[in-house]
Chains A and B, each alone.
Chain A
């Protein structure tokens, strides 16, 4: 029932041992390269290479489908929208009232759909193999982001896992007061909105209490030390290199085949 976002056990996959910053860097580099190139060749090559990385992140194809099906839908829809709205070049394929597809617009649509998938996948790979606590440690210690904000966000994340369970409890508690459970769509929506508001109130109240706890533990008063050290190791180099290689290979392939189409070109 509860979507306890960060209480899941630490992943044991190879990528999980890499420093989160290395993974983030590799993923972002790849994302930027894919963002500027809109063609089906680079997208396909990147997608295939990314799929080969899945085992390193401890993700099976089944888990990917379970977790990622909305992504598939979104990519297809995005491709469709582009095919519909792109400038109509090439030969006419289909005309039905205002809906027209040409070979040019269809190609653009396919490219956008594939690119969408190729952009989404690094995010899933990195995040499935990254523990939020490690990420926070890396952001604060290596990237030197202000620690109060980083740790505040980390603590908040834990709280939200609890709030998901609280939704159920609140529903029962309010029913016990006679709120909700009335027939009719309008009343149902009203009750749901009331409950959402109650959850928001609980979220803020718990946040204030959590802040008291953190302050009482001396948080935010001055310099602090770190119990967990965030460090870079040899295989972080491999991770970064891997991201760059995928980006380079996919763009080179597109350039070689003559289909590369940079956005700002």
Chain B
């Protein structure tokens, strides 16, 4: 709510602020949903591209994990834009569902992947108690989402791989998550904030916040 001039000197109570942080307004829900759905469409294209990419990774399939960071953007971006508990998880889940709606080779497992990856990103933000949303936090959230993705994939898709390859896969997934999901999302949010598009969202000041 906007502050009224009359009650300007009455400092808002801490309790009030805390409540605002965790209650979702309609605009928060709709914006994060739209981001989720839009990224879901991109995921879908990204999945189609996976076939192409895998043609290059035939010699050494774990490198495919480097591509995986693309599937983690939704969580980190959603968390950075809405800055509320659950935003990262919800955004990643929506994106995964939309990817599923458009049809992908992951079938229903996209929902599982979305859940797991979203939880990974969520954990990154939760570690800082939803107070900090700078570059290191974004990178951490991306890396944790990558960790979640790596473990999940190793259990679901790469079950038959030997253990050391699974490890390599997980590490590469974390790197990819930090760079593709963490860095790119952070840059995107800054760019968005600069255009004023985020003016009625908690991240409106992202463009002028310090990187670290």
Contact = CB atoms under 8 A, between A and B. Distances in A.
Direct contact of A and B (CB under 8 A): yes
24 contacts: A5-B101, A70-B51, A73-B54, A75-B105, A81-B54, A81-B61, A112-B157, A119-B107, A121-B107, A123-B110, A149-B33, A153-B97, A155-B33, A156-B33, A160-B38, A163-B38, A164-B41, A197-B188, A210-B30, A211-B26, A214-B30, A219-B26, A263-B155, A263-B159
Contact of A123 (B27, B54, B106, B160): B106
B127 interface: no
Interface in B1-32: 24-27, 29-31
Contacts of A200: 38, 188, 191-192
Interface stretch (B129-137, B142-150, B175-183, B195-203): B195-203
A203 B34 contact: yes
Contact of A127 (B27, B37, B61, B103): B103
Interface stretch (A27-35, A173-181, A184-192, A250-258): A27-35
Which of A85, A164, A208 has the largest count of B CB atoms less than 10 A from its CB?
A85
B156 interface: yes
Which of A72, A112, A124, A153 has the largest count of B CB atoms less than 10 A from its CB?
A153
A253 B26 CA distance: 51
Interface of B: 24-27, 29-31, 33-38, 40-41, 47-48, 50-51, 54-55, 57-59, 61-62, 64, 81, 90, 94, 97-98, 100-111, 155-162, 165, 188, 191-192, 195, 197-198, 200
Given A5-B101, A82-B161, A122-B108, 6 more contacts: A77-B58, A86-B160, A152-B29, A160-B38, A160-B40, A203-B35
Interface residues of A, number: 70
B107 A201 contact: no
A152 B30 contact: yes
Contacts of B110: 123
Contacts of B38: 160, 163, 200, 203
A209 to B, nearest CB: 9
A76 B157 CA distance: 13
